[in-house]
């Protein structure tokens, strides 16, 4: 046997057989499977079980996050105490923030209520002078009951204002906070 350069190669061992390389396109194509489209998967994603499980996991996580966000997440602007639901509403309008605390009854109890402070665009700016800004008894008369207030908007538009209300219901104190909606 001779290599490319024409040199003699050592003889092969008796148990080795000589390798032959050939390329015949016709022979290779005759052994190929038929091309009727039966082997081509038009929907590979749906047939791959790991991709399906991954998709279902993502869908379940998104649904759980939406359920938590819409129904179960704690709301800083609403608190339930002593059988009442206290809700802070705030709207910015013509350079002022108009706010209200609405009280709705969940049962027939009567409790003393005090609004100790409101305002500020940070928690430290609550206007609490020691005297309650509003004092009354929730549960007397027809409800819902509403306490309203107004504050000037800050001059800088760089920060989004946040409204805080310090509320005392019986012996419990709550801090409600909310970003006002804009109506301009």
Locate the domains of the chain by residue range. 78-182
Which CATH fold topology does 78-182 show?
A: Immunoglobulin-like (2.60.40)
Q: How far apart are CA 69 and CA 63, in angstroms?
A: 10
Over residues 90-124, the pLDDT tens digits come to 888 887 778 887 877 766 655 666 666 655 555 54
Over residues 62-91, the pLDDT tens digits come to 999 999 988 887 777 787 777 778 788 888
pTM: 0.49
Q: How far apart are CA 50 and CA 38, in angstroms?
A: 23
- 74: how many CB neighbours lie within 10 A of its CB? 6
Question: What pLDDT, on a 0 to 100 scale, did the predictor assign at position 59?
Answer: 97
Question: What pLDDT, on a 0 to 100 scale, did the predictor assign at position 54?
Answer: 92
SS3 label, residue 27: helix
């Amino acid at each position: 046997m001779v290599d490319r350069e024409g040199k003699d190669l050592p003889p092969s061992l008796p148990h080795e057989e000589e390798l032959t390389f050939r390329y015949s396109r016709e022979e290779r194509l005759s052994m190929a499977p038929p091309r009727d489209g039966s082997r081509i998967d038009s929907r590979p994603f749906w047939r791959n079980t790991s991709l399906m499980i991954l998709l279902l996991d993502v869908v379940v996580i998104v649904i759980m996050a939406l359920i938590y966000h819409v129904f179960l997440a704690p709301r800083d602007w609403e608190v339930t105490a002593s059988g009442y639901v206290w809700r802070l509403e705030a709207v910015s309008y013509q350079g002022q923030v108009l706010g209200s605390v609405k009280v709705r009854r969940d049962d027939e109890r009567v409790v003393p209520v005090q609004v100790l402070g409101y305002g500020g665009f940070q928690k430290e700016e609550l206007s609490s002078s020691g005297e309650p800004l509003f004092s009354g008894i929730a549960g007397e008369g027809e409800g819902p009951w509403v306490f309203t207030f107004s504050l000037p908007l800050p001059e800088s538009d760089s920060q989004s204002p946040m409204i805080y209300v310090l509320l005392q219901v019986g012996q419990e104190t709550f801090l409600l906070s909310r970003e006002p909606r804009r109506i301009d």
